[in-house]
Amino acid sequence: MNDAEERFAERLAEDLDRVLGAGIAIDTVDLHVGDGEARVRATLLIGERVETIEVSGSDILSLYRPIIERAAELRLSSAFWRMIGPV
């Protein structure tokens, strides 16, 4: 990973942390760029559960919005689970 990709991964982890909020911890953020494709995988800890969100795109900039959206969806479903329980 080059310097720009490393800074992108660091910034992405910071932004994911803000979106996820309290109760969801980031374990790892892995970024892979090559062969005309970019992928990011974030492993998250929600209580005793481990969740993984992953997106791919044509370059690293195309990864940002989808991974943040997936994190927001996960936060919402986690909050729903805590309030309502299994359905």
Closest by Cα among 26, 32, 31 to 13: 26
Query: Taking the mean position of all CA atoms in its chain, how far away is CA 9?
Result: 10
What fold does the segment set 3-84 form as a domain?
Answer: Double Stranded RNA Binding Domain (3.30.160)
DSSP conformation class of 50: E
Domain layout of the chain by residue ranges = 3-84
pLDDT of residue 85: 66
pLDDT for res 41? 94
The pTM of this model reads 0.80
Q: Over the chain (87 residues), what is each successive 10-residue block's mean pLDDT?
A: 85 90 88 91 88 93 92 86 68
pLDDT in the model for residue 9: 87
Tell me the two tokens of residue 53.
Answer: 């969100």
| CB 60 within 8 Å of CB 38 | yes
